[in-house]
Amino acid sequence: MRLGKVIIISALLGVSTPFLANQTSVVQAAQETQNNTFTLQITSYAYRKDGKQVHLDELRDADGEKVTLKQNGQVTLIPKGTVLKYYGKPTPLKTYIGTSSQTSNGDIKMYYSIGNGYYINAKNVGLPNGPANLTIDHNSYVYNYKGQRKKAKTIKRIPL
């Protein structure tokens, strides 16, 4: 009796294996999303690695389209709503906004690299589509999804 069951099971497995091997599965392609992009929430300046604002002659957005830039004296303003590609995580840079680097120690702020040695202030950026670090400027409370503050849950600012 037991030998009969083993023979039947092995015969069924031997017959069904070729049918399983010939099956092809159809998989729908995932929608293409652009990783490592962000949208500017406010009009922004571009900066160099030394923290100085720069003049840009041309800038391309994440789709490769030319961005219409506004020239403000020696520096360039990038319009609100521009979608830009960024490289890596935000990095801390010393900035000298409206001051001379000889007379100021500069403030350390977080910036996204947009390529070619240019950076955008992380505060001017909406939610990025890709890896990112979220930073806070001061100690902050934690809230639940209903908007209620959680007791004894405070996020402390880490000085750079």
Taking residue 121's Cβ as centre, other Cβ atoms within 10 Å add up to: 20
Split at pLDDT 50, 70, 90, the class of 12 is: low
pLDDT of residue 95: 75
Q: What is the mean pLDDT of the chain?
A: 76
Determine phi and psi for 9, rounding to 5 degrees. Answer: -65, -45
Identify whether the C-beta of residue 104 lies closer than 8 Å to the C-beta of residue 96.
yes
Instruction: Please state which of the ranges 61-65, 85-89, 112-116, 151-155 shows the lowest mean pLDDT.
Output: 151-155
- The answer, yes or no, to whether residue 22 has pLDDT greater than 60, is no
Q: Rg of the chain over CA atoms, in angstroms?
A: 28
pLDDT in tens, 113-156: 998 899 998 888 887 776 656 666 677 788 888 888 887 666 77
Euclidean distance between CA atoms 47 and 54, whole angstroms:
6
